[in-house]
Amino acid sequence: MKKLERFKENETFSCLYQPNISYNDKSDFFLKCKWSSDCFQNSNPIFLEIGCGRGDYTVKLAKTFPNVNFIGIDVKGSRLWFGAKQTETEKISNVRYLRTRVEFLDRFFAKNEVNGIWVTFPDPHVRISDRHRRLISPAFLSLYSKVLSNEGTITLKTDSSILFDYALKVIKRNELPIVFESFDVHSDPLLIDTELNNLTTNYESRFISEGKKIMAVRFSLKGKSDFVE
């Protein structure tokens, strides 16, 4: 299916929101503060997957944890079509998708409305000059703090040692509590029976076949809102 056809079908998916929000538009999304009551119509925890791409990991998480609501966020509509199509076809009730920029996150969610955030295989932006664009940089942590509950966690999963080392540096420099860290998820005995090991993205499966190690860290912001590099 071509991109234009996907874009057209995206407009018919009830699980996919494509709001027209820009830097100049300061209004909040109509579901802000109301995701539980008006969207999912339950009080289950809400987890976000930032940069979800095709949404395959979002779907796998939702199937593994049916009592958790998952929202996949990405700016590429042609990618989101895949996850949205599967969600609609299989009638998966605890998944939604949001087409927007991550920078607008606090327009969509209120403080304490989000219980957890997944950042799975993001662009590592390996150049030093681009480190501010890394989805685990202090600026993005500050943004996540505006929507994440005090007990909420952030989970990073990556094949990039540059990004992973940077993340650990930021986490430890800001003295953020670490739930776990692993330099080789699929060989770590502590993670063998968890979703970190059992669920893989399309990218991850390819990386594993190439002999790359998958790294992961889960940590909490514990109510902090300002972070240093």
User: Residue 145 falls within a domain, yes or no?
Assistant: yes
- pLDDT score of 21: 81
**What average pLDDT score do residues 151-163 get?**
97
User: Residue 229 falls within a domain, yes or no?
Assistant: no
Domain count across the chain? 1
pLDDT at position 20 over 90: no
94, 150, 162, 206 alpha-carbon torsion, rounded to 10°: -10
User: Residue 93 falls within a domain, yes or no?
Assistant: yes
User: Residue 71 falls within a domain, yes or no?
Assistant: yes
Average per-residue pLDDT for the chain: 95
Contact 172, 182 (CB under 8 A): no
pTM as predicted: 0.95
**What average pLDDT score do residues 90-99 get?**
98
pLDDT at position 24 over 90: no
Sheet holding 16-17, edge to edge: 16-17, 95-99, 69-74, 46-50, 114-120, 148-158, 215-220, 178-182
User: Residue 138 falls within a domain, yes or no?
Assistant: yes
DSSP single-letter state for residue 40 = I
Residue ranges making up the domain that contains 42: 3-11+34-220
Task: Report the CATH number that the domain containing residue 198 is assigned in CATH.
Answer: 3.40.50.150
Share of the chain above pLDDT 90, in %: 89
- Of 67-71, 74-78, 156-160, 207-211, the range with the lowest mean pLDDT is 207-211
User: Residue 19 falls within a domain, yes or no?
Assistant: no
User: Residue 226 falls within a domain, yes or no?
Assistant: no
User: Residue 196 falls within a domain, yes or no?
Assistant: yes
pLDDT at position 1 over 80: no
Radius of gyration of the chain (CA): 17
Alpha helices in 32-98 (DSSP H): 56-64, 77-90
Tens digits of per-residue pLDDT, 183-196? 999 999 999 999 99
Nearest to 106 by CA among 24, 26, 42: 26
Which residues carry out catalysis?
A: 123
